[in-house]
Each structure stands twice: as C-alpha cells, then as structure tokens.
A and B are shown apart, each in its own frame.
With several copies, the nearest count.
Chain A
Amino acid sequence: QEKTEITITKQPSILYLPALVMQKQGLIEKSAAQDGVKNLKVNWRSFSSGGASTDALLSDNVEIVNSGLGNLLLLWDRTKGKVKGITTNSALPLELVSRDPKIKTLKDFGPRDKIAVPTVRVSTQAILLQMAAEKEFGKDNWSKLDANTVQLGHPDAAAMLANASGEISTHFAAPPFSYKELKTVPNAHVLLRSNDIIDGGLSQSTLFTTTKFAEANPKIIKAVLAASEEAIAFIKAHPDQAVDIYREISGDQTSAAELLDMLKQPGMMDFQMAPAGSMKFAEHMSKVGILKTKPAKWTDYFMPESAGLNGS
C-alpha cells in the first residue's frame, strides 16, 4: 500500500529549479498516476537550510528531501545506509568570486584575506576549497586555506562583498549570488569554479529519502525519477517558461530577462540527473574524517532504482 500523500522539502534557490517545475506542473502526481497511484498528493515545503530539512526527515515529518549532495552523504553515513539518494537534478557551477585585484589564484591569499563560505569545514563550498587547496598546494596541504574561511550566509556575504571597505573580499558563491556579484561589484572576478576542481562539475540539488520509504513506495520513487527527467527536459526546452515559474514561486523580483541572461552563463544550464563528481567529493569527505565509512562506488548511496543513471 503506497502512501497517498507525501511532503518534499525544497530550498528557495535557482539551484533547485527542477523541483519548482515539478511542483508547478504537478509532474510527480502525473507520473504516479500513470503508474497506478491515483490521487497522490504532494506537498512542497520550504526550509531555510539543509539541516532543518534533515531533521524533518529524521522525525518522519517529510518523506523526501531536496538538498545538497553533502547532506546526503553525511546522512547516509550516519544512518549506516538507511538514507539514500533518488536522483540529483542540477550541477550548476559554484564560483569563488573575489573583488581584490591582487588575488588572482589561490596562491595569492595572505593570512588576512578572508573567504566567505556558508558554513566553515562542512559546507560544499568549504570542502571544494579544501579540494582546490589540495590540488594547488599538494596532498598534505588541503587545509591550508581553512584559516582564511569565515562563515557567512550568501546574502550577507554578497552584501559584505559589495561593501568596498568590508573585511570580506572573497566569496565562494552559489548562483544567483555569484552572477549578481560579478555584475555589480567593481573588480569582481572568478578565481575558481567547481568544474575546475571536479572535472565535469559537482551535483547540487539532490533528492533523497529513507530506504524504508523507498522500499514501501517504489512507485513514488519511480514517479520522482520520471518527474525529474521531465522537469529537466522542460527547462532545457523552455528556459523562459521555467524562469517564469521560478519567479512566481520564489517571489524573486529580478527581471525575467536578467534571469535568462544568467542561465546563459557557462555551465548554468547543467541541469542533469546523473550524479556528478559525487565520488570525488565523498572521498575527500572521508579523508578529512567527516564521513566515517568510505563508499566504494556512487551507487552505494543511491537507490537501486537510480543505478541506471550515468553517475560518477
């Protein structure tokens, strides 16, 4: 007996655009109905952070979480495999933006140059920075830039960057903040993009749930997969309509033209279901001790239903 009502978390950001399309167009409901689950009701619930979504999942208040890849890995590790991914649906680039003209590469950071990341040590941005440092300074120096990081939410970091006299000159930003910073802050330039660190980019928006739920509700899992595919196809085919959906649901007042322009930037249309760069990411996480068990392959932490994706 499959559930007839589920709740999925979402976060208000362009990274999660496919979910917004699924919500707007009722794609999960549609796919489930085709599969014989009639009258499936899908609630979408916004959370301010991945941590809050995780708690909601653990307390059985939501069925599926749409959050970052790092969150999935951590939860998979801590629950000893009882939480697994269904699919990812975006791999947009994260960009290290600096407004300090003196800083052109990672080597140029002095001890006083601060880099804003959403959460020090554990956020995707912080880990990417470590991986980049490892590449740049050698295997044992992956934590070399940790001392430069400070924790600041994206909006605050963006505001600080705009403040020419502020102490933050560099921000590891996600879209749309990186886009806005590059457009408005004098001297803003990209030092590094996630695709430079992990070849082929790194998945952002990931849908995951408990294996218990997945086993009891295989049709819903399938429906989610099908809906993701359809949503991504829709975005690629009709970016203008997708942007309208984003503006409507998120309440973002940015003009459609500007948003479309943002989507035209390199890598910004990388909405894809196949997990990208997840194993490299997971390996680093286990190396620095965040993950206690090291996955052998990406399918360890994704559902069997997703094994057909061309992941990495």
Chain B
Amino acid sequence: MTRATITLKKDSADGDSARHVVVVRELPLIQKLWSDAFVRKTVIILLLALAWEIYGRLLDNPLLFPTLSDTIAAFIDRIGDGILVDRAWTSIKVLLIGYALGIILAAVITILAISTQIGTDFLEVMTAMFNPLPAIALLPLALIWFGLGTTSIVFVLLHSVVWVVALNTQSGFLAVSHTLRMVGRNYELTGLRYVAKILIPAAFPSILTGLKIGWAFAWRTLIAAELVFGVASGQGGLGWFIFENRNLLDIPAVFAGLLTVIIIGLIVENLVFRLIEKKTVRRWGMQG
C-alpha cells in the first residue's frame, strides 16, 4: 500500500466562541498579595525597619546608633519645623543640576567615543585615570575655577556621574548587534541621529543601569562635598545637616538625615526608574 492515511479533525470546530474563554485561576488572597511587587517590597522594608529597631535597642548606644523609633521621632520633628524639607530640597536642586549635566557630558563623550577612534582612546584613558580619583583631587581646581558656590559642588558631582554613565553607555553601545547597526546605516543615519535612533534605544538597558548607579553616586558625592565647600548661613543641604547634627551629637537627627536619603532613594527607584523600565525595556522585551 502506497497510501498515507489522512484523518480530518473536527473536534475543535466549535471555533471562535471557545477561543476566548480564558480560565482565570483564582489565587488565594495571600498568594495574590504576595505576587504584587509593591507588597513584597513593603514587607522587606518593614522587616529591615524591624531589624533596625531591635538591633538599636539591643545595642543601646544612642550616640552611635539610635533606634528607628528615635530616628523617626527626630525625623518627624525636623520635618515639622521645616528644616529637613528645606535641606533636602537644597540638596536635590544641586543634585539634579549636577546629574543632568553629568548625563549630558557623558553623552557627548560617549558619542565622540563611538564615532572616532581617538574618541574611544580618550574615553578609555580618561575613565582609567579620573574615575578612581577621589573628589579631593578635584577640590583645588573646583575652588579655583568656581569658588565656593553651588557650581563647585556641581563640578564635583559631574565627576561622580560622568564616568559611570559614560562607561555603561559605551559598553551598551558596543554590545548593540551588528545587524541593528547595519540597519541603521542602511537608512543613512549618521552622527547624532544614528546615536539617538539606533544606539540609545538598543543600549537602553545598559544606559539605565548607568543612570541608576550615577544617581546613587551623585548622592554620595553630594553629601561628602557639602562638607568641604561649607555653607553660607543656614542654607546647607542634607550633607551639612548631617554634619552639623553629628557635631552637636544629635545622632537621631543624623540618622533622620540619612533616612531622608533612603526615602528619596526608594521613591526615585520605585517611581522614576521603575516606570521608565516598564515603559521601555520591559515593554520592548529587552529584559527577561
């Protein structure tokens, strides 16, 4: 017999009507809550808070490490009299300027690096040389060039943002697939348009990581820099607030300042970066 058997299947002929029946398996409430990242994170934060409180109490050394409750009391107190909000706002303003400029500068450097050979070498030499340098190395130059004002702090912030963002961006650019590069060049995209329309979106996960790290290091640097550049009467930022209260041995206030940094960090991570991630790399399927 040289005849194959063909069997027609009719059993799913009920067609469209059946197609859209989605069986949603109801999860128990706890599991449902747990599957929400927000809830899980809140639980983690609460556990950390609890650990702080307990450790603080056990340690019983309020001059070194206050309990969370003391810290929160100081926090509420300082929020109440407006000082903490004021200081945080002063810091955030400077931070945003430095961060923005850092990103712009990083963009310029990276674009040079990606488009010319000498630019690549320049970026590599500069990051290798300057990235490990502590801010202290820049202070004299900052003082000479920009004096004691915000500009100097911005300059130092630049230093902490620019190399990180540039390195991550460059490594992202380098990892863009050959095919996508060829596609971009096929459409005669060159220079900035090529970078903006092909490289940046294709390297977006790396860039985002660079931005996150740059943000964190901008904070660290800002708080350290505020000490060096001092303040004119009553206008310091969070760094100065922390320093001042340390000097006054008002340790709960010091930790209230640090708590403010933590809270801002959580807000920025979970609102800003998370949102960007959701709208971009997640949506584009570029992140598992």
Binding site for B on A (CB under 8 A): 7, 9, 12-13, 23, 43-49, 51-56, 58-59, 61-62, 74-75, 78-79, 114, 119-122, 146-147, 149-156, 158-160, 162-163, 166-168, 177, 180, 249-254, 290
Contact = CB atoms under 8 A, between A and B. Distances in A.
Given A44-B233, A156-B139, A62 B148 contact: yes
Interface in B225-241: 227-233, 236, 240
Given A12-B244, A163-B61, A156 B143 contact: yes
Given A52-B228, A59-B140, A147 B61 contact: no
Nearest first, the 6 A-B pairs at minimum CB distance are A151-B230, A59-B143, A159-B63, A47-B230, A48-B227, A159-B64
Given A61-B147, A78-B63, A150-B230, A253 B140 contact: no
Interface string B232-273: 110010001001101111110000000000000000000000
Contacts of B251: 159
A156 B152 CA distance: 14
Contacts of A119: 230, 247
Interface of B: 61, 63-64, 139-140, 143-144, 147-148, 227-233, 236, 240, 243-244, 246-251
Given A75-B249, A122-B248, A253-B250, A45 B147 contact: no
A163 B244 contact: no
A149 B236 CA distance: 13
Contacts of B236: 46
Dominant SS at the A interface?
mixed
A290 B248 CA distance: 7
B248 A61 contact: no
Given A48-B227, A163-B144, A120 B249 contact: no
B62 to A, nearest CB: 9
A150 B228 CA distance: 11
Contacts of B148: 7, 45, 56, 61-62, 114, 150, 152, 167-168
A147 B233 contact: yes
